[in-house]
Amino acid sequence: MPFVSATLCAEPSPGLTARAVLALTDLTVKVLGKERERTTVVVQYVPEAQWALGGVLLARGFYVEVKITSCKNSRDDKARYVREVNRALQALLGGASGYVAVDEIAADSWGYAGETQEVRYARSMVA
């Protein structure tokens, strides 16, 4: 049940949004082993005049954060995800630099549709 939030410093367009959603969904499924139908991706845009690095405004940039249940992925999985998301967004944004963060949350501390991940896991073990 990953939640991926992408902030892009780029000119908003339906095409770019669709390509970013597809790339982030595919990488979350492929690299982190998450279920496609449970992967949520949100894309937001920030104007160029509001994105700076070292006090210098940039024409392009990105910040991607994925929230996943803790202890489900290895450090190698997470490092590969950071690397591959970075590559995909650099390609989409013409060589932009950016950040990728993997945020692991305890299973009893987050959920979907009113149930924590821990409850979902416990139910699956009984079934």
The first and second tokens of residue 102, run together, are 């993997």
> pLDDT at position 101, please?
98
pLDDT tens, the chain, 127 aa long: 899 999 999 999 999 999 999 999 999 999 999 999 999 999 999 998 899 989 998 889 999 999 999 999 999 999 999 999 999 999 999 988 899 999 999 999 998 889 888 888 888 888 7
> pLDDT at position 67, please?
98
pTM of the model: 0.92
Q: How many residues does the chain have?
A: 127
* Residue 43: strand pairing partners: 6
Q: Would strands 98-105 and 52-53 be described as parallel, antiparallel, or unpaired? A: unpaired
> pLDDT at position 48, please?
85
Which domains does the chain show, CATH number per domain?
3-126 (3.30.429.10)
Q: What are phi and psi of 9, to 5 degrees?
A: -95, 95
